[in-house]
Amino acid sequence: MSVVTNTTTIGAIDAPSRRNTELALLAFAVAIPVFAYLNVGLALDGKVPSGMLGYGLGLGLMAGVAHLVVRKFAKYADPLLLPLATLLNGLGLVLIWRLDQSPRLIQRAERLFHSHSADAPKQLMFSAIGIALFVAVLIVLKDHRVLQRYTYISMVLALILLILPMFFPAVNGAKIWIKLGPFTVQPGEFAKIIIAVFFSGYLMVKRDALALASRRFMGLYLPRGRDLGPILAVWVMSILVLVFETDLGTSLLFFGLFVVMLYVATERTSWIVFGLLMSAAGAVGVASFEPHVQQRVEFWLDPFAEATLQQSDQAAQALMSFGSGGVLGTGLGQGNSDLIGFAANSDFILSTVGEEFGLAGMMAFLIVYGLIVERGVRTALAARDPFGKLLAIGLSGAFAIQVFVVAGGVMGLIPLTGMTMPFVAYGGSSVLANWALIGILIRISDTARRPAPAPAPSPDAELTQVVRP
CA–CA distance from 425 to each of 153, 259, 410, 446 (Å)? 30, 26, 12, 28
Name residues contacting another protein, limited to 352-391 (CB under 8 A): 357-358, 360-361, 364, 367-368, 371, 374-375, 378
Nearer to another protein, 14 or 306 (CB): 14
Nearer to another protein, 329 or 388 (CB): 329
Could you tell me the smallest distance in angstroms from the CB atom of residue 423 to another protein?
A: 15
Q: Which residue, among 126, 172, 117, 180, has the nearest Cα to 348 in the 3D structure?
A: 172
Can you tell me the distance from the alpha carbon of 104 to that of 387, in angstroms, rounded to the nearest whole number? 50
Can you tell me the distance from the alpha carbon of 190 to that of 161, in angstroms, rounded to the nearest whole number? 8
Q: Are 257 and 397 in contact (CB under 8 A)?
A: yes
Residue 174 has phi, psi (to 5 degrees) of -125, 135
Alpha carbon 353 to chain centroid, angstroms:
17
Name residues contacting another protein, limited to 319-338 (CB under 8 A): 328-332, 334
Q: Which residue, among 270, 273, 272, has the nearest Cα to 212 in the 3D structure?
A: 270
Could you tell me the smallest distance in angstroms from the CB atom of residue 107 to another protein?
A: 24
Could you tell me the smallest distance in angstroms from the CB atom of residue 371 to another protein?
A: 6
Can you tell me the distance from the alpha carbon of 268 to that of 208, in angstroms, rounded to the nearest whole number? 11
Fill in the per-residue mask, 83 to 122: x = in contact with another protein (CB under 8 A), - = not in contact.
Answer: xx--x-----------------------------------
Asked if residue 150 binds another protein (CB under 8 A), the reply is: no
Asked if residue 32 binds another protein (CB under 8 A), the reply is: yes
Can you tell me the distance from the alpha carbon of 272 to that of 287, in angstroms, rounded to the nearest whole number? 22
Asked if residue 294 binds another protein (CB under 8 A), the reply is: no
349-356 vs 81-100: helix axis angle to the nearest 10? 90
Stretch that binds another protein, among 17-25, 69-77, 211-219, 233-241 (CB under 8 A): 17-25
Task: Work out which of 13, 218, 307, 452 binds another protein, going by CB under 8 A.
Answer: 13
Segment holding 372, helix H or strand E: helix 358-382
Checking DSSP bridges between strand 220-223 and strand 214-217, what pairing results, if any? antiparallel
Asked if residue 454 binds another protein (CB under 8 A), the reply is: no
Can you tell me the distance from the alpha carbon of 40 to that of 333, in angstroms, rounded to the nearest whole number? 5
Stretch that binds another protein, among 29-37, 146-154, 233-241, 308-316 (CB under 8 A): 29-37
Nearer to another protein, 1 or 180 (CB): 1
Name residues contacting another protein, limited to 44-63 (CB under 8 A): 46
Asked if residue 75 binds another protein (CB under 8 A), the reply is: no
Asked if residue 271 binds another protein (CB under 8 A), the reply is: no
Dihedral (CA of 265, 415, 164, 189) sign = positive
Could you tell me the smallest distance in angstroms from the CB atom of residue 227 to another protein?
A: 35
Stretch that binds another protein, among 22-30, 115-123, 195-203, 301-309 (CB under 8 A): 22-30
Nearer to another protein, 368 or 410 (CB): 368
Nearer to another protein, 293 or 421 (CB): 421
291-301 vs 269-289: helix axis angle to the nearest 10? 100
Nearer to another protein, 297 or 332 (CB): 332
Can you tell me the distance from the alpha carbon of 132 to that of 432, in angstroms, rounded to the nearest whole number? 9
DSSP state at residue 214? E
The residues that touch another protein, with contacts defined as CB under 8 A, are 1-13, 18, 21, 25, 28-29, 31-32, 35-36, 38-39, 42-43, 46, 79-80, 83-84, 87, 328-332, 334, 357-358, 360-361, 364, 367-368, 371, 374-375, 378, 459-460, 462, 464-467
